[in-house]
């Protein structure tokens, strides 16, 4: 397991170099003048442009810029934005909010998804089963923008239970509706995945054995059936956490939550590559680590899988 | 030890001599889209303490379904449409689930054909055996572990203590079946049902497992129902044989009588299809045709389309279980002919 982890960590190096190169290349190649509109209504002065060129190496060739960026990242220096704000400050402001939103969404999708999956998997063909099957298909087909606007319309405009925007303190209670919006697609997917697993495993021989052992139905389902059926779901949830931690541009935008998704979106529209590139790099890193974690977790959950 | 405990139970329920387990005129149906599949059609057999009953039949003959009814683990949509299953005189089928669960695994236990899929892949084998003691006897983890290791020793699992924390996939097929057996006999059941316990194993391992079952049965005086499709397996261990065909018992007799002179054409066909060294080089005997579709059962005797003794009577009249003498029974109109041919 130790050797496997080490090998996986070493594999991260080329992946990380490759992805940062692509991100760096794409963002800096955007056909736009970084000084466009940066100095109000007037064009920027020669002196300002010269100073910016000097500070951000804008007149160096592309690959030189990349190696300068890489060198700084290796020392943990995220640099400053065109507005001279340290990028690390932006991350420190945004990341806790994204993390909170991700946790709320994850809890909602795991609890409702697994619960609905177990109930429908055990009683297939009933009313609840059809309800869950149809509504999950509906939720998966619906774009998240629609879900978000509908929820906002219902809970703010009609019921008045929530404020239109999440406050700057980002309280947990304020995140329930945005978290639900963010969770919908995965929730529907988990419900279907769990239903299929429960349905398949409930006719498995080991469930028959558990019944023949004289165990109560609670123990047969809650211990023997659930443990086996949860393995693929836990894997999915782990990978989804990687996605959620990369921020949610739409949800954060609609509910005005200052998270990484919205920060990246703002930086992109301001053409500020100095923010986009380090932030995107960090998200890639987080995703890769989550991926590794899920693979290791899989080995713990299913004893038949061993890493050499 | 187990015997003493058993006798205490006997006096408790005021139950005296008589069969330990009786299946009485059992009917099981499976509703399907194309009609009702009658998997079991009036099966009766009984099991005495310390005896082995072999239930013989091919796939779909209803032998496993009958066992699942005895255990109470029949899958939906299968259901019992008529008949009784009596354990120590009490009808199991009219009991509530609450009354019945303490018997399951505790008084009546079962082992299955494929131990790899029958053991839970994500729990250690020790944990799975110990679960019996924890759930039924309320023992602590430590006590249950101790008992589980004793059971693993009892089924002659080498280095039991070191293997407590291993998972099912880390064992060989024979060892896995030993673990299934350890789990089934953990609480000293009165009845053990073994559903094709050796089918998935190598021939040499088959003999070891059958030997183990036989020894364990004699040590604790349990009744054993051995379900199999392999006549070779049962000869040494069984006392009685019930041969099933299309959901009915076609012949029921002591093991030696059946081998000496079968009284039903189907049994005769089964015995003749065992390869014999002295007939080497000759074509192996086979029963022609296929088992009937349970949705479209033949009229009269279900075996008549494949039967060399067939007459017009067989196509219209369902044969009853004729008394063949002694404790033997055969469901064939022409049993005298069959038995004479065999002699």
State pLDDT tens for residues A205-214: 999 999 999 9
pLDDT at A307: 67
3-state secondary structure B289-328: CCCCCCCCCCCCCCCHHHCCCCCHHHHHCCCCCEEEECCE
Using the Cβ of B220 and the Cβ atoms of chain A, whether some distance falls under 8 Å is answered with no
Is B296 part of a structural domain of the chain? Answer: yes
Residue B24, both tokens: 């009485």
Rounded distance, CA A206 to CA A224, Å? 8
Give B30 to chain A, closest Cα distance, Å: 16
Which among B105, B114, B121 is the nearest to A213, CB-wise? Answer: B105
Using the Cβ of B120 and the Cβ atoms of chain A, whether some distance falls under 8 Å is answered with yes
Beta bridge partners of B195: B227
Q: Whose structure tokens read 């049993």?
A: B335
Domain that holds residue B261: 239-343
Q: Is B294 exposed, middle or buried (0-12, 13-18, 19+ CB in 10 A)?
A: buried
Cβ of A209 within 8 Å of Cβ of B136? The answer is: no
Buried b (16+ CB within 10 A) or exposed e, B273-291: eeeeeeeeeeeebebeeeb
B122: left (phi over 0), alpha (psi -120 to 50) or beta: alpha
Using the Cβ of B110 and the Cβ atoms of chain A, whether some distance falls under 8 Å is answered with yes
Residue among B197, B209, B208 nearest B115 (CA):
B197
Helix (H, G, I), strand (E, B) or coil at B230: coil
Is B43 part of a structural domain of the chain? Answer: no
Q: A308 falls in which pLDDT band (50, 70, 90)?
A: low
Residue A178, both tokens: 């945005």
Mean pLDDT over A16-34 rounds to 83
Residue A36, both tokens: 């466009």
pLDDT at A157: 85
pLDDT at A35: 74
Give B313 to chain A, closest Cα distance, Å: 42
Number of domains in chain B: 1
Rounded distance, CA A86 to CA B93, Å? 76
Is residue B234 within 8 A of residue B54, CB to CB? The reply is yes
Is B91 part of a structural domain of the chain? Answer: no
Backbone φ and ψ for A80, nearest 5 degrees, come out as -120, 160
Cβ of B122 within 8 Å of Cβ of A227? The answer is: yes
DSSP A86: B
pLDDT in tens, A161-206: 888 888 888 888 889 999 999 999 999 999 999 999 999 999 899 9
- A to B CB pairs, distance under 8 Å: 71
Is B298 part of a structural domain of the chain? Answer: yes
Rounded distance, CA B113 to CA B228, Å? 10
Mean pLDDT over A37-57 rounds to 81
Give A83 to chain B, closest Cα distance, Å: 55
Rounded distance, CA A190 to CA A176, Å? 19
Rounded distance, CA A140 to CA A148, Å? 13
Cβ of A303 within 8 Å of Cβ of B121? The answer is: yes
Rounded distance, CA B106 to CA B122, Å? 24
pLDDT at B2: 43
Is residue B265 within 8 A of residue B332, CB to CB? The reply is yes
Which among B101, B120, B167 is the nearest to A214, CB-wise? Answer: B101
Work out whether strand B21-32 and strand B35-47 pair parallel, antiparallel, or are unpaired. antiparallel
Which residues in chain B have Cβ-Cβ distances shorter than 8 Å to A212? 71, 73, 104-105, 109-110, 112
Angle at the Cα of B178 from the Cα atoms of B175 and B181, rounded to 5 degrees? 160
Beta bridge partners of B252: B242, B329
Is B254 part of a structural domain of the chain? Answer: yes
Using the Cβ of B138 and the Cβ atoms of chain A, whether some distance falls under 8 Å is answered with no
Which residues in chain A have Cβ-Cβ distances shorter than 8 Å to B123? 227
Using the Cβ of B122 and the Cβ atoms of chain A, whether some distance falls under 8 Å is answered with yes
DSSP A216: -
Which residues in chain B have Cβ-Cβ distances shorter than 8 Å to A215? 105, 131, 135
Which among A203, A213, A231 is the nearest to B132, CB-wise? Answer: A213
Using the Cβ of A52 and the Cβ atoms of chain B, whether some distance falls under 8 Å is answered with no
Is B172 part of a structural domain of the chain? Answer: no
Which residues in chain A have Cβ-Cβ distances shorter than 8 Å to B118? 205-206, 208-209
Mean pLDDT over A262-267 rounds to 89
Give A217 to chain B, closest Cα distance, Å: 10
Residue A271, both tokens: 């053409």
What does pLDDT average to over chain A? Answer: 88
Q: Which of A139-148, A237-246, B9-18, B198-207 holds the top average pLDDT?
A: A139-148
Cβ of B132 within 8 Å of Cβ of A304? The answer is: no
- pLDDT tens by residue, chain B, 343 residues: 444 444 444 444 444 557 899 999 999 999 989 888 989 998 999 999 999 999 998 888 889 999 999 999 988 888 999 999 999 988 999 998 888 888 999 999 999 988 899 999 999 999 999 999 999 999 999 999 999 999 999 999 998 899 999 999 999 999 999 999 999 999 999 999 999 998 888 888 888 999 999 999 999 999 999 998 888 778 888 999 999 999 999 999 999 888 888 899 999 888 888 887 887 778 888 888 888 888 888 888 999 999 888 889 998 888 988 998 888 999 999 988 888 887 6
What element of type H or E holds B303?
none
Which among A211, A219, A231 is the nearest to B73, CB-wise? Answer: A211
Is B2 part of a structural domain of the chain? Answer: no
Is B92 part of a structural domain of the chain? Answer: no
Q: Domains, chain A, ranges and CATH?
A: 20-74 (no CATH), 94-301 (1.10.3720.10)
């Amino acid at each position: 397991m130790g050797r496997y982890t080490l090998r996986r960590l070493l594999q991260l190096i080329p992946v990380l170099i490759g992805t940062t190169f692509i991100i760096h290349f794409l963002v800096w190649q955007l056909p736009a003048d970084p000084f466009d509109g940066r100095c109000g209504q007037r064009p920027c002065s020669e002196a300002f442009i010269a100073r910016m060129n000097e500070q951000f190496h804008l007149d160096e060739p592309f690959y030189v810029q990349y190696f300068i960026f890489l060198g700084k990242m290796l020392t943990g220096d995220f640099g400053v934005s065109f507005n001279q704000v340290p990028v690390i400050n932006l991350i420190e402001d945004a990341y806790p909010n994204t993390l909170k939103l991700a946790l709320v969404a994850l809890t909602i999708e795991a609890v409702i998804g697994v619960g609905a999956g177990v109930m429908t998997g055990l009683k297939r063909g009933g009313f609840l089963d059809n309800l869950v099957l149809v509504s999950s298909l509906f939720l998966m087909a619906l774009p998240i923008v629609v879900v978000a606007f509908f929820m906002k319309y219902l809970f703010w405009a009609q019921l008045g239970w929530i404020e239109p925007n999440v406050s700057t303190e980002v309280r947990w209670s304020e995140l329930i509706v945005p978290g639900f919006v963010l969770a919908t697609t995965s929730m529907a997917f988990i419900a279907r995945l769990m239903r299929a697993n429960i349905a398949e495993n409930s006719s498995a021989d080991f469930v028959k054995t558990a019944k023949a052992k004289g165990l109560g139905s609670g123990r047969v389902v809650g211990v023997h059936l659930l443990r086996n059926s949860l393995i693929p779901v836990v894997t999915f949830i782990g990978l989804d956490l990687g996605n959620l931690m990369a921020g949610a541009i739409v949800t954060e935008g609609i509910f005005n939550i200052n998270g990484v998704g919205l920060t990246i979106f703002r930086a992109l529209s301001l053409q500020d590559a100095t923010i986009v590139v380090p932030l995107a790099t960090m998200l890639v890193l987080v995703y890769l680590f989550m991926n590794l974690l899920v693979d290791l977790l899989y080995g713990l959950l299913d004893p038949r899988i061993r890493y050499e | 030890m187990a015997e003493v405990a058993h006798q205490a139970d006997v006096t408790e329920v005021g139950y005296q001599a008589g069969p330990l387990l009786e299946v009485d005129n059992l009917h099981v149906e499976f509703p399907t889209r194309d009609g009702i599949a009658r998997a079991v059609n009036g099966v009766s057999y009984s099991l005495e303490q310390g005896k082995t009953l072999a239930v013989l039949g091919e796939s779909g003959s209803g032998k496993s379904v009958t066992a699942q009814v005895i255990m109470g683990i029949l899958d939906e949509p299968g259901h019992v449409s008529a008949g009784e299953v009596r354990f120590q005189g009490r009808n199991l089928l009219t009991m509530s689930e609450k009354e019945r669960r303490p018997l399951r695994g505790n008084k009546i236990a079962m082992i299955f054909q494929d131990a790899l899929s029958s053991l839970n892949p994500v729990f250690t084998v020790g944990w799975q055996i110990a679960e019996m003691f924890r759930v039924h006897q309320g023992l602590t983890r430590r006590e249950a572990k101790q008992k589980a290791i004793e059971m693993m020793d009892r089924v002659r699992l080498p280095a039991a203590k070191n293997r407590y924390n291993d998972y099912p996939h880390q064992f060989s097929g024979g060892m896995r079946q030993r673990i299934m057996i350890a789990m089934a006999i953990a609480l000293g059941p009165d009845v053990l049902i073994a559903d094709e316990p050796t089918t998935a194993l190598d021939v040499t391992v088959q003999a070891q497992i059958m030997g183990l079952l036989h020894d364990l049965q004699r040590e604790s005086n349990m009744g054993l129902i051995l379900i199999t499709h392999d006549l070779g397996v049962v000869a040494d261990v069984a006392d009685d044989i019930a041969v099933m065909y299309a959901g009915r018992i076609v012949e029921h007799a002591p093991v030696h009588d059946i081998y000496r002179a079968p009284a039903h054409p189907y049994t005769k066909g089964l015995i003749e299809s065992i390869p014999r060294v002295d007939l080497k080089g000759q074509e192996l005997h086979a029963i022609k045709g296929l088992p009937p579709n349970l949705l479209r059962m033949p009229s009269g005797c279900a075996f008549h389309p494949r039967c060399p003794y067939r007459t017009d009577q067989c196509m219209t009249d369902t044969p009853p279980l004729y008394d063949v003498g002694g404790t033997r029974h055969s469901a064939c109109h022409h049993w005298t002919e069959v038995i004479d041919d065999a002699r």
